[in-house]
């Protein structure tokens, strides 16, 4: 089996709530290998977003370690964590968060140019990704001119523009009708299979979850297999 590209080891995370302390994750372990799609299904408030934030280095655990590409990230400084997020991790959210004043093509070019890529090269890769996700014909349109499904496919293209190792998605089809959600998931799945990305996708959509390689949930602060 391939080595894990993302590992959460004995993760602890809690938050202060008034005089009390609310434990979200406790002794939580999880691993994700290249080319694998894992669904995270759990009730609201169970800690799905916290788990994704920790995996994406947006939050630091109280204890335990986050390992990305074999590198322990718990003691890195902010600049080092930002560099890993920029180069190793792609994020897709329920709302697309595209920049409204830029075209679809430009939205996908920007993260590449931030890393120093030449505009011409960034444009070529942006168009290639948009074509692959079947929105290449909309490359010159701004987000307000795109449908919900088109916006989310552009957001996926932007998330993988820098060829990350890990894709983290938080309800990426949550704002879409079932048919459009199916189209967006098809595009996402094809991209993961083709590129060897490792994807952790939080979703309430059990039909989509069943199409992934495995389904996990959160129980007692731990990541455990989901029992249907």
What is the tens place of the pLDDT at every residue in 157-186? 998 898 899 999 988 887 778 888 888 888
The count of C-alpha atoms lying within 13 angstroms of the C-alpha of 32, restricted to the half-sphere facing its C-beta, is 32
pLDDT at residue 137 tops 80: yes
What is the tens place of the pLDDT at every residue in 73-120? 878 888 888 888 888 898 888 777 899 999 999 999 999 998 889 999
Report the share of the chain in percent with pLDDT over 90. 43
Helices (H), the chain: 48-55, 78-88, 104-114, 119-132, 148-159, 178-195, 206-210
Take residue 13 and report the two structure tokens written for it: 């995370």
Question: How far does CA 30 lie from the centroid of its chain?
Answer: 15
Q: Which CATH superfamily is domain 6-225 in?
A: P-loop containing nucleotide triphosphate hydrolases (3.40.50.300)
Per domain, the residue ranges of the chain are 6-225
This prediction's pTM: 0.89
Average pLDDT over residues 124-146: 92
What is the tens place of the pLDDT at every residue in 11-21? 999 888 888 88
Pairing state of beta strands 37-40 and 214-219?
Answer: parallel
d(CA 208, CA 46): 20
What confidence tier does 44 reach under pLDDT thresholds 50, 70, 90?
confident
Take residue 141 and report the two structure tokens written for it: 């349109």
pLDDT at residue 228 tops 70: no
């Amino acid at each position: 089996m391939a080595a894990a590209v993302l590992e959460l080891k004995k993760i602890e995370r809690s938050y202060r709530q008034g005089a009390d302390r609310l434990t979200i994750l406790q002794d939580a372990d999880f691993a994700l290998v290249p080319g694998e799609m894992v669904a995270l299904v759990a009730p609201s408030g169970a800690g799905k977003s916290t788990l994704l934030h920790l995996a994406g280095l947006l939050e630091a655990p109280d204890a335990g370690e986050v390992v990305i590409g074999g590198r322990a990230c718990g003691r890195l400084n902010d600049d080092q964590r930002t560099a890993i997020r920029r180069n190793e991790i792609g994020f897709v959210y329920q709302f697309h968060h595209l920049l409204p004043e830029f075209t679809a093509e430009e939205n996908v070019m920007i993260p590449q140019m931030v890393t120093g890529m030449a505009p011409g090269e960034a444009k070529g890769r942006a168009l290639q990704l948009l074509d692959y996700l079947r929105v290449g014909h909309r490359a010159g349109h701004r987000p307000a001119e795109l449908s919900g499904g088109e916006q989310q496919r552009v957001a996926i293209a932007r998330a993988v523009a820098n060829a990350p190792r890990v894709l983290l998605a938080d309800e990426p089809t949550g704002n879409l009708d079932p048919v459009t959600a199916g189209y967006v998931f098809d595009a996402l799945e094809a991209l993961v299979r083709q590129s060897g990305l490792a994807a952790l996708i939080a979703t309430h959509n059990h039909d989509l979850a069943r199409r992934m390689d495995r389904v996990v949930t959160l129980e007692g602060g731990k990541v455990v297999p989901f029992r249907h």
